[in-house]
Amino acid sequence: MRIIELNESITDSNDKDAEALRSLLKAQGTFLINIMSSPGSGKTTLLERLITDLKEKHKIGVMEADIASDVDALRIEKLGAAAIQAHTDGMCHMDAGMTQRALMAMDSKDLDLVFLENVGNLICPAEFDTGANANVMILSVPEGDDKPLKYPLMFEKSDALVITKTDTMSYFDFDLEKCKERVLRLNPHISIFPVSALTGEGMDALEEWIEKHM
Amino acid sequence: MRIIELNESITDSNDKDAEALRSLLKAQGTFLINIMSSPGSGKTTLLERLITDLKEKHKIGVMEADIASDVDALRIEKLGAAAIQAHTDGMCHMDAGMTQRALMAMDSKDLDLVFLENVGNLICPAEFDTGANANVMILSVPEGDDKPLKYPLMFEKSDALVITKTDTMSYFDFDLEKCKERVLRLNPHISIFPVSALTGEGMDALEEWIEKHM
C-alpha cells in the first residue's frame, strides 16, 4: 500500500480540473464515487462491506484521504482491493487536482469502480468538486437527526445519503422520518439509504443504486 | 435569543486579536472555554448538563456557532443561561474577531463563565486561536478510538479532552485505554474526562477541572 503526500492544487479553476478528471475517468472506464461525512461516521466500515459484496463483479480501488495515519488504507488492502493513502498536508478537503494525483499514483486504469474516502469533515469537502461521478454522503445515527439543519450544503451537494449504524437506532434519539423530511426539503433529488454495515441491513438497495449509476 | 451574522475577520493577525480578547475577558472577569468536536459528538448535550450543574454557582453564557439553524441556542436558552446563536456565513471555524463580536453582542459583562460551542469540525477550528482561556475538545465513543491518529492537531491544541457518550461503550468497539494512550502521546499535558451527560457519570471531575481553572 502506497502513501502519497498531497497539497492544495494551485490552478486557475478547480471546476475545470474536475471536468478534465471526469473526461479522463470516462476514457478509461472508471466510475469514481466521492464519499463525504463527519469523522467517525463509519465510512471505512461501509467501504469494507461494499468491497466484500461487490469485489467478485468489479475491480475496486479506494483512495483514503486523511491528514495523518494509514489505518484506513491498511483495512481496505486486507480485503484485496487496490488502496492508496493520501495525506492532505493538513488540508480539510480534497480538490480535483489532488484527487487526480492520487488516482494516477494508484494506477487506476484497470479499475471500474473507485471510491474516494474524503477527509472526515461535514463542511469544507462540500465546497470542492473532486471530479467524481457521484457524491455520496454518510450520516451516522449517533450524530443525530438535526444535522441537515446545521450543515445544509453537504446535503444539497450529495446524490445519495447513506444513514449508517441503523443497528444502534434503539439506543439513540434519532427520528428517521424527520431526518428524511429535512434532507428532502434541502435536496428533493437525493436518494436515501438507511443501512447497517454490521448486520448488512439495507446494503442491497445501496449496491443496486451504485451499479445502476456506473 | 439573538442571532448574529458573522464573517471572517480581516485583520493583521488572529493571534494579536486573540490576546486582545483575553485581556478584555480578564478585565471583565469572564472565563471563556472554547469547545470543539466533530458534528454530533454531543457538545450541546454536555453543555446542557454543565449549565444545570453549575448555574447556581456561576453566571453562565453560551455562544453557539453554526453555519445555519438556531436549534442549539434554543436548547440552551430553555435552561435559563444567556445564549446567542452566531452564524458563520459558511465558515468552518471561529476566529478571535468573530468570537469577540459574538461576545459583545451577548453582553457578557456580568457573566463569569462563557462557553463557545465552535463549529462542528475536527480540523479547521484547531488552527485558529479564538481568544478563549481554555480549549476543550470532545470525542464521542461512537466516533472510534482511532481519531487521535487521524486528527492529531486538535488533540495537541486542547487543554482537556472529554470522551462523551460513555453509556454506549458496550455497544461500540471503543478501547478507552488505547485511546488515552494515543492522546497522551500527542499531548502529555491534556486532562482526559470520560463522561456520560445522560447518566451524569464522570461529570464531577470535569466540573471540578473547570472551576479550578476559572
Q: Which of B68, B152, B168 sits opposite A152 (nearest CB)?
A: B68
Start-end of H helices in A55-167: 71-78, 96-106, 147-150, 152-157
C-alpha cell at A180: 428524511
Confidence of residue B5 (pLDDT cuts 50, 70, 90): confident
Best mutation target among A37, A38, A44 (most B Cβ atoms within 10 Å) is A38
Residue among B90, B92, B149 whose CB faces A68 most closely: B149
Task: Give the mean pLDDT of A36-64.
Answer: 97
Q: Which homologous superfamily is A2-213 in?
A: P-loop containing nucleotide triphosphate hydrolases (3.40.50.300)
CB contacts of B38 in chain A (<8 Å) are: 38-40, 120, 143
Residue with cell 471546476: A15
Chain B hits for A121, Cβ within 8 Å? 92, 121-124
Average pLDDT over residues A98-108: 94
CA atoms in the 13 A half-sphere facing the CB of A113: 19
* Cβ–Cβ gap A40/B67 under 8 Å: no
pLDDT at A143: 97
Q: Are B117 and B44 in contact (CB under 8 A)?
A: yes
On whether any CB of chain A is under 8 Å from the CB of B123, the answer is yes
Give the chain A residue nearest B127 (alpha carbons). Answer: A90
Q: What is the mean pLDDT of residues B62-73?
A: 94
pLDDT band at B8 (very low <50, low <70, confident <90, very high): confident
Nearest beta carbon to residue A150 from set B67, B150, B151? B67
- A1-39 b/e (C-beta count within 10 Å ≥ 16 → b): eeebebebbeeeebeebbebbbebbeeeebbbbbbbbbb
Interface with A, mutate which of B36, B48, B121 (most A CBs under 10 A): B121
Report which residue type is found at A103. L
d(CA B66, CA B121): 10
B129-141 mean pLDDT: 98
The model's pLDDT over B84-110, given as tens digits with 9 standing for 90+, comes to: 999 998 999 999 999 999 999 998 999
pTM reported for the whole predicted model: 0.94
Spans of all domains in chain B: 2-213
CB A36, CB A118: distance < 8 Å: yes
Contact A85, A139 (CB under 8 A): no
Is residue A79 scored above 90 in pLDDT? yes
Nearest-by-Cβ selection for B142 from A119, A124, A142: A142
Asked if residue A167 has pLDDT above 70, the reply is yes
Whether the pLDDT of residue B111 is over 90: the answer is: yes
SS3 at position B123: coil
Q: What's the gap between Cα B166 and its chain centre?
A: 18
> Do B99 and B19 meet the contact criterion of CB atoms below 8 Å apart?
no
Q: What is the DSSP letter of A133?
A: S
Q: Which of B3, B37, B38 to mutate to test the interface with A (most CBs of A within 10 A)?
A: B38
- Closest partner residue to B121 (CB to CB) among A69, A123, A152 is A123
Q: Can you give the pLDDT at residue A105?
A: 93
CB A186 within 8 A of CB A152: yes
Contacts of B191 (CB under 8 A, 6+ apart): B159, B160, B161, B209
Q: Which of residues 19-78 of A touch B (CB under 8 A)?
A: 38-40, 66-69, 71-72
Place of cell 480535483: A96
Asked if B87 contacts B2 with a C-beta cutoff of 8 angstroms, the reply is no
For residue A150, list chain B residues with Cβ-Cβ distance below 8 A.
39, 66-69, 71-72, 120
Mean pLDDT within B112-133: 97
Strands B60-66 and B31-37, by their bridges, are unpaired
What is the mean predicted confidence (pLDDT) over A77-99? 94
Minimum-distance CB partner of A71 among B68, B127, B149 = B149
Residues 6+ apart with CB under 8 A from A80: A51, A55
Given an 8 Å threshold on Cβ–Cβ distance, is A69 in contact with B147?
no
Residues of chain B in contact with residue A142, where contact means CB-CB under 8 angstroms, are 40, 140, 142, 165, 168
* Mean per-residue pLDDT, B202-208: 98
- Report whether A94 contacts A88 (CB < 8 A): yes
Largest Cα–Cα separation, chain A: 49
**Three-class SS state of B69:** coil
The pLDDT of residue B2 is 82
Mean pLDDT of A94-105: 96
For residue B115, which of B83, B161, B151 has the smallest C-alpha distance? B83
- Residues B145-182 pLDDT 10s: 999 999 999 999 999 999 999 999 999 999 999 999 99
Q: How far is CA A111 from the centre of its chain?
A: 17
Task: Tell me whether residues A168 and B165 touch, CB distance under 8 A.
Answer: no
> d(Cα A39, Cα A71) in Å, to the nearest integer?
14
In this prediction, residues A174-202 reach a mean pLDDT of 98
* Higher-pLDDT residue of A107, B62: B62
